[in-house]
Amino acid sequence: MAVWRSSYIRIIVVIFVLLFSTSCIKFYKHQPSDKEIMQATNQFDSTYSLRYRRAYYQGIQEAKNEIKESKMTIYIAGLIPPQSNNIDKETDLPMKIIAGCMITDSIDGLAQGHNDVIGKYLISDEEMRATSHLEPDISIVYRKAYYRGMQEAYTEIKSNKITRYVLGEGDWGDIDKETGVPIKVIAGCIVSDSIIGRADGHNYIIRKYLKHEIR
């Protein structure tokens, strides 16, 4: 009986050691060295602390996990505006509070690294190239809608049925006085970045077409 108990205890100890060792290996496997952190964040100059860079790197990993699980969010610090409905205006994604109003290097880096990856995932290289004439800090929602409007304008040009997009209620008439092309109302009085962007992108291409800048 004593031999059996002794063997049983040894088996339990071995299992515990194996599980503990596996956990340690997994933990250390995901701890990059300072050198790796510096290489992964080499877009920053020397004024950015290692603490910021580590947090930025961690934010990148967390964003990749969200993308993989199709559960993307936008990290913010502070209070969510009550009128926002917990949705980020720039991306239309849910907001996730990661800290209060006291912002440190670690919090700032974590949010920036995470949100940079999410932002790049949401908009394609082609959309960025086509809208490169816009201000760099324009919202992603606006930029994507702008690109969509551009494509709609190209389709109209191809089919020889160009229009001018307008927003809101009003006596627009059937023909636009400025360009002489038919009016198309795409929204009422309630507008958003996506609606405004779509109209702006469409009308930008139509204006260039009418000036014979594109064919």
DSSP string, the chain: -HHHHHHHHHHHHHHHHHHHHHHHHHHHHT---HHHHHHHTTTS-TTS-HHHHHHHHHHHHHHHHHHHTT---EEEESPPPGGGTTB-TTT--BEEEEE-S---HHHHHHHHHHHHHHHHHHS-HHHHHHTTTS-TTS-HHHHHHHHHHHHHHHHHHHHT---EEEESSS---SB-TTT-SBEEEEE-S---HHHHHHHHHHHHHHHHHHTTS--
In which region does residue 122 sit, left (phi positive, over 0), alpha (psi from -120 to 50) or beta (all else)?
alpha
Q: Are residues 41 and 96 in the same domain?
A: yes
The predicted structure's pLDDT at residue 26: 44
Q: Are residues 117 and 132 in the same domain?
A: no
Tell me, yes or no, whether 7 lies in a domain. no
| Final residue of a structural domain among 88, 122, 156 | 122
Look at residue 190 in the predicted model and tell me its pLDDT.
Answer: 72
Domain match, 78 and 139 both = no
Q: Is 14 within a domain?
A: no
Q: Which of 103, 122, 141 is the last residue of a domain?
A: 122
Decide: 122 and 174 in contact? Cβ < 8 Å. Answer: no
Query: What is the pLDDT, as a whole number, of residue 8?
Result: 53
Decide if 3 is inside a domain. Answer: no
Whether the CB-CB separation of 168 and 116 falls below 8 Å is answered with no
The answer to whether position 206 is within a domain reads: yes
What's the pLDDT score for residue 85?
Answer: 78
Is there a single domain that holds both residue 69 and residue 96?
yes
The answer to whether position 106 is within a domain reads yes
Which whole-number Å values give the CA distances from 137 to 14, 90, 110, 131, 143, in the listed order? 57, 10, 20, 12, 10
Please indicate, yes or no, whether residues 162 and 99 belong to a single structural domain of this protein.
no
pLDDT at res. 25 = 43
Question: How far apart (Å, rounded) are the C-alpha atoms in residues 215 and 158?
Answer: 9
Residues 111 and 159 in one domain: no
Distance CA 9, CA 212 (A): 86
pLDDT in the model for residue 12 = 58
Write down which residue in 122, 156, 191 finishes a domain: 122
Same domain? 96 vs 179: no
The answer on 106 and 133 residing in a single domain is: no
Residues 197 and 111 in one domain: no
How many structural domains are present in the chain?
2
With respect to residue 116, please indicate whether it lies within any of the assigned structural domains.
yes
Do 62 and 85 belong to one domain?
yes
Residue 9 within a domain: no
Does any domain span residue 205? yes
Range of the domain at 47: 27-122
The pLDDT assigned to 61 comes to 94
111 and 50 within one domain: yes
Q: Judge if 117 and 35 occupy the same domain.
A: yes
- The pLDDT profile of the chain, 215 residues, written as one tens digit per residue, is 544 455 555 555 455 545 544 444 444 455 788 888 888 888 888 899 999 999 999 999 999 999 999 999 999 887 766 666 788 877 889 999 898 878 899 999 999 899 989 988 999 999 999 999 999 878 888 999 999 999 999 999 999 999 999 998 777 889 998 889 999 999 887 777 889 999 999 999 999 999 999 87
